[in-house]
Amino acid sequence: MAQKKEYTVICHHRGRATEYTGTLEHLINDVFGYTLESGASWQYEKGSRKVNTNPKSGKGLVTALNNAAYNTMGSCYNPDWYELKEG
């Protein structure tokens, strides 16, 4: 049985960076599920971005998380942002 690929997503929140590591399924369902769902609930408002709640890659997950953060935080002074750790 092939081992599933693990990804590391770095969350930047108020000047701190926190790393979350796991398979794509674990990160979507157990770690960032609420963030994706709350961002998706705002996607039909004017000026909001579309949020994919079931991304198929690490890059897609980070894009969905950044779009969700944009939708929920709007024009905050210091909004959260996410990146994929290389390597």
- Over the stretch 24-71, which tens digit does the pLDDT of each residue have? 999 999 999 999 999 999 988 988 999 999 999 999 999 999 999 999
Q: What residue numbers bound the domain in which 56 lies? A: 7-21+47-87
Q: Which residues contact 46 (CB under 8 A, 6 or more apart)?
A: none
Answer whether residue 35 is part of any domain. no
Answer whether residue 67 is part of any domain. yes
Residue 9 has pLDDT above 90, yes or no: yes
pLDDT of residue 52: 95
How many domains, in total, are found in the chain?
A: 1
Answer whether residue 26 is part of any domain. no
